[in-house]
Amino acid sequence: MKKTSYNKLVRDRIPEIIEGSGRKAVYETLDDENFIKRLNEKLVEEVNEYLQSGSLEELADIGEVMHGILEYKGISIEAFQKARMEKLEQRGSFKKRLLLQEIIEQ
């Protein structure tokens, strides 16, 4: 019997998919403290995967983790978008591709 250990947060259907392929998935349901910790770890994992691949699929994974964090914190997507738009209005976007090199005090 071959075992492969992962010890990482996975999407809800992953155990079902694993078992559908004839293997056994061993998993646990996390408490709140461990869930947010694992969501944060998953966010870093997905960002690193995106940085390596640059793929749309990895951006989608980042978005799904972000939605999980928002849901955990009880923040609606509308509240998130409102905060995003406020920041956009106050500070702008990244469309101009500006790289701040230095600030000179006068």
> What digits encode the pLDDT tens for the residues 35-86?
999 999 999 999 999 999 999 999 999 999 999 999 999 999 999 999 999 9
Rounded Cα distance, 38 and 25, in Å: 18
| Cα–Cα distance measured from residue 79 to residue 83, given in angstroms and rounded to the nearest whole number | 6
pTM to 2 decimals?
Answer: 0.87
For the chain, what are the domain ranges?
A: 30-77
